[in-house]
Amino acid sequence: MNKDLDLWNAIYALYELLTDEENSEKKYQTFFESYPVVFKILGFDTFQSYEKSSGKRLPFDNDRNFTPEPDFLCGNIESCTVTVFELKTPFVKPFIVNRTDGNRAKLNATAESYLSQATEYAKSIQGSSEARSVVKSDLSLRTISSYQIIIVYGLTDSNDMARVSDILQDRPSFRPTFLCYDLLLEKLVDSYLNTRKTTENRTGWSIVYHLIVNKEQLFPRSFIADHGSPKKNRLSVFIENGHIVYQCIDNDEMVHILKSPIVYDQPIFLRFEFATDDNGIYLSLNVNNEERYLLVGSVKLNFNMQLTGFVFGTDISCKFFGRFYMLEAYYSAKTMSIEDKLRSYNYFKQKTLGVSAGVRFDGKHYLVRNQNGNMSQSNPKYQPKYVNPINSEM
């Protein structure tokens, strides 16, 4: 899997957990285990889970009469630093409380216990040559020069993180920090945008379809939608050879194609984005939250953004009809921000959960944009049908 897709999947998975207000520590453990790219973004070269199901164990500490069980240990190859990486939950009370005696605020009892636990893990490893040998082997370190603690915990909007940092500065041992989950999400998004800063909120189009596509199409090229003129200045979406195809023909009659394999007879999420301006060209095809095809260039495309026509369910000649159910469609006159994209797919998942109804285009139905800008069909013969329940047969 390419790094961008891996990172995007991690971003969405964390976004979904936070949006759902998930507060199960086990699910966040699974998140980190499933997306190693998160550790890379945080600057770690290696990591190892010591959760019970991982099969990895640290030696029993006779002096402390316990076996250290950190959620993860992370390593930096160059600095030979070991980080005790502990996971807690995001939806918690503020980390600090004010003292009744008027002295400076302190960590609440829960946060203090988490910090004490992580500190004991670090001390146990530091004080045992056997444990250090295991850790060096697990993290591929030649030696261990220092230790630190990161506790992933809470959310920034419920905490004064400057005051939290001040309190933690008084704990010089192992340089502990609290990393809030929303800040972690922000770090992942910032990394993702490093190579995509010019793709957000540009003048153009974002078009999203929720569809169920029938496997049996009537034409080799069966259209979902078509915009523009026949030979140039045209944007088309069609099904061809088992692929969904997003095709742009510019004013120079040059053809630009983005395509992806399609899954039939189940709800699919399609997002098409298009922009051409002083930043250059941007074309993106996203299927089920995976960017399957991306075209970015510094040269502006010769394309008139004011398209002359729009049909849905067929091509502009009204000859090559598609067979599919339309569950939902929406449009924006700009490319999406990262937050828009996350919300858009999350909405699709919620909307299509147990979906039973849709608008059927069965190979002869289509809609045309009228003078008011609305999609309509005055001839009953060609009107698509609202169907509830949806059948697999067209």
pLDDT digits (tens, 9 = 90+) for 92-145: 999 999 876 667 789 999 999 999 999 999 999 999 999 999 999 999 999 999
Burial of 241 (0-12, 13-18, 19+ CB in 10 A): exposed
Tokens 């194609």 belong to which residue?
Answer: 257
AA letter at 289: N
Whether the CA torsion 238, 242, 245, 249 is positive or negative: it is negative
**Structural domains for the chain:** 1-190 (3.40.91), 196-386 (2.60.120.200)
Rounded distance, CA 175 to CA 38, Å? 21
Predicted local distance difference test score (pLDDT) of residue 392: 53
Q: What is the mean pLDDT of residues 264-281?
A: 94
Give 54-61's long-range contacts (Cβ < 8 A, gap of 24+). Answer: 56/138, 58/124, 58/125, 58/131, 58/134, 58/135, 59/128, 59/130, 59/131, 59/134, 61/124, 61/127, 61/128, 61/131
Tokens 């993180």 belong to which residue?
Answer: 161
Tokens 């999400």 belong to which residue?
Answer: 185
Tokens 């008139």 belong to which residue?
Answer: 304
Burial of 126 (0-12, 13-18, 19+ CB in 10 A): middle
Which has more pLDDT, 43 or 1?
A: 43
SS3 at position 235: strand
Q: Greatest CA separation found in the chain? A: 85
Confirm if 44 and 78 have CB atoms less than 8 A apart: no
- Say whether pLDDT at 177 is over 90: yes
pLDDT confidence band for 289 (50 / 70 / 90): very high
Predicted local distance difference test score (pLDDT) of residue 100: 65
Predicted local distance difference test score (pLDDT) of residue 355: 87
SS3 at position 380: helix
Q: Provide the β-strand partners of residue 358.
A: 387
Q: What is the mean pLDDT of residues 332-337?
A: 95
Q: What is the mean pLDDT of residues 364-387?
A: 93
Predicted local distance difference test score (pLDDT) of residue 101: 65
Rounded distance, CA 225 to CA 206, Å? 14
One DSSP character per residue, 154-183 reads S-GGGS-HHHHHHHHHT--TT--EEE-HHH
Predicted local distance difference test score (pLDDT) of residue 364: 96
Predicted local distance difference test score (pLDDT) of residue 372: 85
